[in-house]
Amino acid sequence: MKRIDEEKFISVYDENADAIFRYAYFRLYDRERAKEVMQEAFMKTWEYLQSGKKISNVRAFLYRTAHNLSVNEAVRHKFFSLDEMREVAGFDPEEVRQNTPDTEAEYRLVLAKIGELDPADRDVLLMRYVEGLPVSEIAEALDEAPNTVSVRIHRAIGKLRASLDIP
Amino acid sequence: MNEHKDFNFIRERVVLSDTEKAEHRAALLSRMHATPMQPVPSPYTWTLFLNVRYAFVALLAVLVVSGSGVVVASEGAVPGSPFYGVKLTVNEPTRIALARTPKEKAALEVAYAERRLKEFAAATVSNRLDADTTKLIAASLEDRLEGAEENIDDLNTSGEGDDALEANSELKGVLAAHAKILRKVSAGDPVREVALAAISEHIDQGIVETGAVEPVFAASLESQESRGVLHASVSERQMEVVEVLEDLREDMVNASTTLDTGDHEELAESITEVTGMLETATREKDGGSATRALKLYTEADARIGELKALIEAEQELGIDLIGSEE
Using a CB-CB cut-off of 8 Å, the residues of chain B touching A13 are 25, 28
The answer to whether residue B246 is domain-embedded is yes
Residues from chain B that touch A146, judged by Cβ atoms under 8 A, are 111
Asked if B272 and B291 sit in the same domain, the reply is yes
Residues B291 and B320 in one domain: yes
* Domain end position, chosen among B56, B75, B98: B98
Q: Are residues B262 and B222 in the same domain?
A: no
Same domain, B223 and B250: no
Q: What is the pLDDT of residues A118-143, one digit of tens each?
A: 888 888 888 888 888 888 888 888 88
What are the b/e assignments for B121-145, b being 16+ CB within 10 Å? Answer: bbbbbeeebeeebbebbbebbbbbb
Q: B320 and B248, same structural domain?
A: yes
Residue A85 pLDDT: 46
SS3 A96: coil
The answer on pLDDT for B71 being more than 80 is no
CA separation, residue B155 to residues A79, B125, B159 (Å)? 36, 37, 7
Q: Do B10 and A6 touch (CB under 8 A)?
A: no
Co-location of B61 and B77 in the same domain: yes
The answer to whether residues A73 and A39 touch, using CB atoms and an 8 Å cutoff, is no
User: Any chain A CB within 8 A of the CB of B53?
Assistant: no
CB B7 within 8 A of CB B29: no
Query: What pTM, to 2 d.p., does this model score?
Result: 0.54
Question: Do B206 and B142 sit in the same domain of this protein?
Answer: yes
B44: Cα separation from own chain's centroid: 22
Residue B115's contacts (CB-CB under 8 Å, 6 or more residues apart) are none
Q: What is the pLDDT of residue B276?
A: 92
Per the structure, the count of domains in chain B is: 3
Give residue B83's pLDDT band: very low, low, confident or very high (50, 70, 90). Answer: confident
Q: What is the C-alpha to C-alpha distance for residues B290 and B162, in angstroms, rounded to an integer? A: 10
Chain B partners within 8 Å of A151 (Cβ): 240
> d(Cα B312, Cα B304) in Å, to the nearest integer?
12
Which of B69, B98, B127 is where one domain is finished?
Answer: B98
Closest CA relative to residue B216, chosen from B141, B155, B277: B155
- Asked whether the predicted pLDDT for residue B4 surpasses 70, the reply is no
Is B181 contained in some domain? yes
- Residues B264 and B326 reside in one and the same domain: yes
Most B-contacting residue of A22, A88, A142 (CB-CB within 10 A), to test interface: A22
Residue that finishes a domain, picked among B231, B253, B274: B231
Dihedral sign for Cα atoms in the order B88, B89, B95, B99: positive
Comparing C-alpha atoms, which of B259, B255, B300, B302 is closest to residue B277?
B300
Measured distance CA(B86)–CA(B260) in Å, rounded: 40
Q: Each residue of B237-271: pLDDT tens digit? A: 888 888 888 888 888 887 777 778 888 888 888 88
A6-18 average pLDDT score = 90
B76 and B90 housed in the same domain: yes
pLDDT for residue A90 is more than 70: no
Residue B22 lies in a domain: no
The ranges assigned to domains in chain A are 1-79
CATH topology of domain A1-79: Rna Polymerase Sigma Factor; Chain: A (1.10.1740)
Residue B34 lies in a domain: no
Q: Are A42 and A64 in contact (CB under 8 A)?
A: no
CA–CA distance, B326 with B322 (Å, rounded to integer):
10
Which domain covers residue B136, as residue numbers? 101-231
Contact criterion met (CB < 8 Å) for A50 and B35:
yes
Selection from A134, A33, A143 nearest residue B65 by Cα: A143
Top-confidence residue, A112 or B301: B301
